[in-house]
Amino acid sequence: MTLAFIGLGSNLGDGRLNLRQAWQRLGGYPGVTTLALSGPFLTRPVVKSAWARAGRPLGEQWFTNAVGVLETSLAPLALLAAMQEVEIGLGRDRQKTVDRAVDLDLLYYDELIIVEERLQLPHPEISKRLFVLAPLEELAPDRPHPVTGLTTRQMRRALADLGRDDIRRLSWLEPTVPPGDPEA
């Protein structure tokens, strides 16, 4: 069995519900055993200039993000296909919008390094994304990146001063309070 880390994100509807449903569905696939899911984080959307140039704006709703770890007997591309089936099953349409009810990213697949058009492992943006590193640190603070050798904790500390107001830890049970709300 292989240990894989999955990034989960949602900026449409009830993000926490969407992520829990995605995690549950992914765990229902033969050859996949879900082990742990980090707490959820509310994060400001990161707008990519290429999206705007292509006329694909991103909505204003903040993202709910988490990271999960699972064991799998599926090959990397088969796991990726299962993840994409879960996304589609929960309403993801990559052609219509960059907004998403659920987005699943394969972050790590054991220590495997792959650089192909369809799949890059480890995920090439891990070290730049606080919304990935914060929940990943809950599950695997001392896990080294197979290319850089830096641990999750070290990568997160490198981003500690960036986006301090752009991320907030939630619980799976509390009601969502929009950013800027006096109760936040």
CATH code assigned at 165: 3.30.70.560
pLDDT of residue 168: 87
Give residue for tokens 């950013």: 179
Residue 50 lies in a domain: yes
Residue 58 lies in a domain: yes
Residue 86 lies in a domain: yes
Query: CA–CA distance from 178 to each of 65, 160, 183 (Å)?
Result: 15, 23, 9
pLDDT at residue 34 tops 50: yes
For 138, residues 6+ apart whose C-beta sits below 8 A from its C-beta are 38, 39, 67
Predicted model pTM = 0.87
Residue 25 lies in a domain: yes
pLDDT of residue 84: 95
Q: How many CB atoms lie within 10 A of CB 89?
A: 13
Residue 184 lies in a domain: no
pLDDT at residue 169 tops 50: yes
pLDDT in tens, 47-84: 655 545 555 555 567 889 999 999 999 999 999 999 99
pLDDT in tens, 111-135: 999 999 999 999 999 999 999 999 9
Q: Which residues are annotated as catalytic?
A: 92, 100, 103, 105
Residue 180 lies in a domain: no
pLDDT at residue 26 tops 80: yes
pLDDT at residue 175 tops 60: no
Domain count, the chain: 1
Phi, psi of 113 (to 5 degrees): -120, 120
Contact 27, 104 (CB under 8 A): no
pLDDT at residue 11 tops 90: no
Query: CA–CA distance from 12 to each of 33, 62, 85 (Å)?
Result: 26, 9, 18
Q: How many CB atoms lie within 10 A of CB 58?
A: 17
Residue 78 lies in a domain: yes
Res. 184 pLDDT band, cuts 50 70 90:
very low
Q: Which residues pair with 14 in a beta bridge?
A: none
Residue 181 lies in a domain: no
> Between 150 and 100, whose confidence is greater?
150
59: domain range?
2-169
